[in-house]
Amino acid sequence: MTTSDRYLAFANSAVGSRLANALGLPRPVPLERMPCVDNTDAMADARAMPVSLAVVGGAGDAPLLPDLARELHRLGMPSLAHAERLDWISLANQAGTMSGRFNPSEGVRPKALLFDASAIASTDDLSTLYTFFHDTLACLDRCARVLVLGVPPTLASTPQASVAQRALEGFVRSLAKELKRGATAQLLYVSPQARASLHSTLRFFLSPRAAYVSGQAITLQAPVFEPPPIQDRRPLAGQVAVVTGAARGIGEAIATVLAHDGAHVVCVDIAAAQGPLDAVASRLEGSALTCDIAAPEAGAALLAHLAKQAPHGLDILVHNAGITRDKTLVRMSEAQWQSVLDINVGAPQRLNQALLDAGVLRANSRIVGVASISGIAGNRGQTNYAASKAAVIGMVEAWSPVLAERQISINAVAPGFIETQMTAAVPFAIREAGRRMNSLGQGGQPVDVAQAIAWLAHPASGALTGQVVRVCGQSLLGA
Ligand code: NAI
């Protein structure tokens, strides 16, 4: 729970909850999250494992069931079959996961609902969604996860199937808005070549790592690199990551989570942040590079640092550094316009080019940009910032096919309202609106953005490229 979100704390106190109920005020629940720890805390990892129950259903011959059963088994998540899919029990039992039939009247509280919608071939078949969720939703545990799996509409076998698969998006986004008590819902479009690449995505979404992500449609496509053997404890061991803007806020959390996952993190920030930057790098046993990413010599400085710290090449590059210089366009100076565009999107493009030209990005490496929901929805007083963040999304879209040929993925996260020094400076009324105007009724934490980036950076996440994942609690902005 955030210390600065006093209403969240109050609404969950004994007196506050009674008052909130009596007055009909919203009661956001404290979300279950992974703590942001830098050492390998076995307890923290254990808490993050999705050990409680999943209920699994599906339409038609549910072709993804064997893949789901295998991954639930790997994740140690027991499951029950929805009554309509009793035929699944024997199949899934072979993977040692499914132990019986789900009966809503038995008082069991599932932590996850998974529905394989990939065989839905017409809008008539969509009624299978209705039946499954109508029976199960009311039983959900707090902070539960709903996952619907489909096929990308462009890859569906007939126009009718494509139409029905497209319908899943509206269904899941609406369901996410109806969920209560910190639960979230996502749609995973799984291309046929990505069926062996579900692991890292299920590991993320079926755990507290994905606390503040909801209402997203994610596509898994042919992986840029065949998934390596699964290694969930310290999955980034032996890897090198660069995080820009790592001295504080979201960047510090990203560096912390990547280091926790085993990476050597090169922490980059400006000279004015030298003190906190050194402290972060030394706490994480990484290295610090003071560098203004917008300076003409930034690429050369980073390459020189990597030549010493990462002679075998770079695995993860996170473009987190960013600034705001908010003013309505008429009042905005040219310098305010220019600096935001240059730091937020000019510099990341130049750094990418420098690293690509030098050939230091290894096979199966990752580039992750940090966009913003401002770049999707637009925001008054942020023409410069929103343009730069929309351009980060454009960078991901334009470069993903080019980089896939070099076995590199590129994705972005688009945070909503995250509790940092940047948002603490926002005037109270706007801050309060930003916090509450989402399906979870609260702001996110830096660790929420960091965990989403760690998922995209996972060595088994090569089926994710060209994606923009909002970490915004399903904010109403740009929805
Ligand atoms: P912050 O202002 O707390 O931290 C940004 C860091 O980047 C600072 O340490 C700063 O010194 C560094 N930095 C700035 N310019 C730099 C440069 N030229 N070279 C190297 N380092 C530089 O910001 P916060 O909140 O942690 O945001 C991180 C990223 O997340 C930014 O890209 C921001 O636009 C994005 N974001 C933040 C949201 C929020 O609610 N806090 C929402 C949406 C996006």
At 78, which amino acid appears?
Answer: P
Return the ligand 1 atom nearest residue 417 CA: 40
Q: How far is it, in rounded angstroms, from Cα 373 to Cα 417?
A: 9
Contacts of 51 (CB under 8 A, 6+ apart): 76, 77
Tell me the best of 243, 257, 269 to mutate to test the pocket of ligand 1, counting ligand atoms within 8 Å of each CB and taking the most.
Answer: 269
Q: What angle do CA 323, 326, 331 make, to 5 degrees?
A: 135
273 lines ligand 1 (CB under 6 A): yes
Q: Which pLDDT does position 290 carry in this prediction?
A: 98
According to DSSP H, which parts of 235-346 are helical? 249-260, 274-283, 298-309, 334-341
320 lines ligand 1 (CB under 6 A): yes
Q: Which pLDDT does position 170 carry in this prediction?
A: 98
Ligand 1 centroid to residue 248 C-alpha, Å: 8
Beta bridge partners of 98: 79
Q: What are phi and psi of 89, to 5 degrees?
A: -60, -45
Candidates 208, 206, 260, 254; CA nearest to 235 is 260
Return the ligand 1 atom nearest residue 344 CA: 32
CATH 3.40.50.1000 fits 50-206, yes or no: no
* Low-confidence spans in the chain with pLDDT less than 50: 1-3
Q: Provide the greatest CA pair distance for the chain.
A: 67
Residue 425 burial (CB < 10 Å; 0-12/13-18/19+)? Answer: exposed
384 lines ligand 1 (CB under 6 A): no
Domain spanning 240-471: which superfamily?
A: NAD(P)-binding Rossmann-like Domain (3.40.50.720)
CA distances to 145, 281, 417 from 412, rounded to whole Å, are 22, 24, 16
Contacts of 68 (CB under 8 A, 6+ apart): 56, 114, 116, 149, 198, 202
CB-CB contact of 150 with 189 (8 Å): yes
Return the ligand 1 atom nearest residue 374 CA: 43
Contacts of 433 (CB under 8 A, 6+ apart): none
For residue 473, what are its two tokens? 């609690």
CB-CB contact of 178 with 133 (8 Å): no
Candidates 83, 82, 81; CA nearest to 91 is 81
Q: How far is it, in rounded angstroms, from Cα 209 to Cα 31?
A: 10
CB-CB contact of 352 with 316 (8 Å): no
Query: Domain segments of the chain: what residues?
Result: 1-25, 50-206, 240-471
Ligand 1 centroid to residue 444 C-alpha, Å: 15
Ligand 1 centroid to residue 322 C-alpha, Å: 4
250 lines ligand 1 (CB under 6 A): yes
347-358 and 383-404 are packed helices; what angle lies between their axes, rounded to 10 degrees? 20
Residues in the chain: 479
345: which DSSP letter? I
421 lines ligand 1 (CB under 6 A): yes
DSSP labels for 157-215?
Answer: SSHHHHHHHHHHHHHHHHHHHH--TT-EEEEEEE-GGGGGG-HHHHHHHTSGGGTT--S
Residue 365 burial (CB < 10 Å; 0-12/13-18/19+)? Answer: buried
182 lines ligand 1 (CB under 6 A): no
Q: Which pLDDT does position 7 carry in this prediction?
A: 73
Q: In the 3-class helix/strand/coil scheme, how is 386-436 assigned residue by residue?
A: HHHHHHHHHHHHHHHHHHHCCCEEEEEEEECCECCHHHHCCCHHHHHHHHH
Chain centroid, CA 209 distance in Å: 8
Contacts of 342 (CB under 8 A, 6+ apart): 294
Tell me the best of 373, 418, 426, 468 to mutate to test the pocket of ligand 1, counting ligand atoms within 8 Å of each CB and taking the most.
Answer: 418
Return the ligand 1 atom nearest residue 370 CA: 32
Q: Which pLDDT does position 2 carry in this prediction?
A: 44
Counts of helices then strands in the chain (DSSP H, E) = 18, 14
212 lines ligand 1 (CB under 6 A): no
Ligand 1 centroid to residue 79 C-alpha, Å: 41
Which residues participate in catalysis according to the annotation? 385
275 lines ligand 1 (CB under 6 A): no
Q: What angle do CA 21, 445, 467 make, to 5 degrees?
A: 115
Nearest alpha carbon, ligand 1 atom 31: 322
pLDDT of 373-415, one tens digit each? 999 999 999 999 999 999 999 999 999 999 999 999 999 999 9
